[in-house]
Structure 1
Amino acid sequence: MNSIQIVAVIVSCCVGLLQAASLPDFLTPCKGTDPNLNQCAETEANKVIPKLMKGYPSLNIPVLSPLKIDQIKVENTGQLNIVINDAVVRGLEDAKASKFNIDLKSHNINLRLNIPNLNIQGEYEMEGQVLVLPLNGKGACNITAVNGDFDIAVSYTLYDKDGVQYAKIEKVDVAIDIKDAHLYFANLLNAKKQVSDDINALLNKEWRQVIHDLEPAIKETVSLIVTQVGNGIIDKVPYAEIFGNELP
């Protein structure tokens, strides 16, 4: 799973709608019939994001600050293969949710998550090409995405379990807009430090292309996390309770 695991946070945003009978007191449901449902969801999501950073096992929410991910992969892009092992992600505690658009009739939820500084550190292995450079290497890495907007579109279906209606996430799409990035990969080309540092300087100058090469993995990871964590939560809470037992 990936840094932009942001997404456990995102699910938390949706979780901010759940009923307090099943959840901690700080989680307040937004009623599905509320004409200001989108604003309510934004307000409640931003209240609970800081509170969920330590995790909540009974809701299948992992510790988010810092978030530990066994492995992040970028592969089969035709240009670049990267594996980051033992990744540690920081910065989720500063995430802000906005632009909610909840359509309970079409079963779609859209929102934006802004993260000022999303930092990923770990041990990387790289093989492939970035820009015009054939690159390989192995060692420590440090990646920071600055002022990133993650637009997330979730679609879900409903099903019956023991005579009660529940929801299930079927698809998650993610669009990414990052304003700046800082990158460091130790031991590039297994060369001397000065050569490796010079290559890193070029990668930072052309950070947009590097982030573009990393984008498929970011999107896939965010989608996977939203799906797994989201379904883990809504599998336990009846659909009506998620929206305060008031559906349109």
Structure 2
Amino acid sequence: MDVKSVSMLSVTAVVVLILSVLCQTVFSKPASTKVSRLSKYVKICKINDPQFDPCVNNAMKDIFKYAKTGIPEANIPIMEPFKIPEIDLSIFQALSPQILGSRQNADKFRAFARNVIIHHASELKINRIKTDMKEKKFNLNLNLPFLDIVGEYDVNLILFGLPIKSIGPLKSNVTDTNVECTLKGQLVTRKSDKYLLFDNIDIKVDFKDYNIIIENIFKKDQNLNRALNDMIKSQKMELKKLVMPMVEEIAGKMLLTMLNQIIGSLPYTEWFIVDED
């Protein structure tokens, strides 16, 4: 299991929330036959306003005031803390000789992070928002000063030549995370309504530092447990460089799936400004 990837994927899950807020709240307004469910929570921005992007920035700050409660009627989840039931890490099997020191049995290999809880995600700083509603494109640059992450691992693998089948706690924190993300979507028709679905994503994630502690993966040998965590600490920047491309690949897929589940729950005309002729 590449434990460093848990921190990376937790960061990208935070981006899902931010983009959800962006798409669901700040562009919506009462349509001719519908009343916006969001006007009581956030100022509604107008697409033809020259200050549209700054308006979006301010509106997102307003919506994050509801980080601890969410907005159920708009399908916006609780953001503080943010919970991820499961992250599948099986994609990292291909790097197992470099990361785990051993080749894996493909039939038995298992690596998951479960019950992941992320604290301080709502303390993000938005550096830039650019929107192109004609092209259905969204670009976001932001910084997360600090994330505190707890969860549990569930693995069946070979670690440095030793078979390991174990479940246990993991802890992590990530400092000074920078995220650059561009999403492009299109309108699809379901029955008589149109919905926005994203089908392309480009995401880059980087951060200054991170720490991970894995507890009791070697159930009967605390010396090996200490050695593993010491190795992660001493080689964490090398691990970061090694797994970054695969982390961003799985992060992109996770982002698209989660965001489309949220945005696709309501018609486009209920969430977005529709200019009148």
Q: Structure 1 length as normaliser, TM-score?
A: 0.82
In the alignment, is the contact (CA less than 8 A) between 1:119 and 1:144 conserved in 2?
yes
Tell me the distance in 2 between the aligned counterparts of 1:126 and 1:160. Answer: 42
Residues 25 and 42, structure 2, Cα contact 8 Å, conserved in 1: yes
Distance 2:186 2:206 in 1: 28
2:59 maps to which residue? Answer: 44
Displacement of 1:160 in angstroms is 4.9
Query: What's 2:256 paired with?
Result: 223
Could you tell me how far 1:203 is from its partner in structure 2?
A: 0.7
SS at match of 2:170: strand
Distance 2:260 2:143 in 1: 19
Paired amino acid for 1:36: Q
Q: Relative to structure 2, which stretch is displaced further, 210-219 or 182-191?
A: 210-219
Contact 1:128–1:134 (CA<8 Å) still a contact in 2? no
Aligned length: 242
Deviates more, 1:160-169 or 1:112-121: 160-169
Give the one of 157, 173, 176 matched to 2:205. Answer: 176
Question: Which residue number in structure 2 is paired with residue 79 of structure 1?
Answer: 95
Identify the residue that residue 122 of structure 1 maps to in structure 2: 151
* Cα distance change of structure 1 residues 222 and 113 upon mapping to structure 2, 3 Å threshold: farther
Q: Which residue of 1 aligns with 2:107?
A: none
Any gaps of 5 or more consecutive residues in structure 1?
none
| Contact residue 153 and residue 170 of structure 2 kept, 8 A | yes
Instruction: Give 1:225 shift.
Output: 2.1
Q: CA deviation at 1:145?
A: 1.9
Paired residues for 1:23-62 under 5 Å: 23-24=37-38, 25-62=40-77
Using the TM superposition, give the Cα deviation of residue 108 of structure 1 relative to its aligned residue in structure 2, in angstroms: 0.8
Q: For residues 68 and 202 of structure 1, do their structure 2 counterparts lie closer, same or farther at Cα, with a shift above 3 Å needed?
A: same
More strand by share: 1
Matches of 2:45 and 2:238, distance apart in 1:
41
- Structure 1 residues 224 and 191: CA distance shift in structure 2, 3 A: farther
Aligned-residue Cα RMSD (Å) equals 3.0
Q: Does 1:242 align with 2:272?
A: yes
1:158 aligns with 2:167: no
Residue 45 of structure 1: how far off its partner (Å): 1.3
Q: Does 1:202 align with 2:217?
A: no
Deviations 1:58-100 (A, max 9, x none): 2222222122222112113302463112222222121233311
Relative to total residues, which structure has the larger helix share, 1 or 2? 2
Contact 1:19 1:27 in 2 (8 A): no
Does structure 1 residue 11 correspond to structure 2 residue 20? yes
CA distance in 2, matches of 1:182, 1:52: 25
Q: Residue by residue, what CA displacement relative to the aligned partner does 1:12-40 show, whole Å, maximum 9, x if unpaired?
A: 12333122632231222221112222222
Indicate the structure (1 or 2) with the bigger Cα radius of gyration.
2
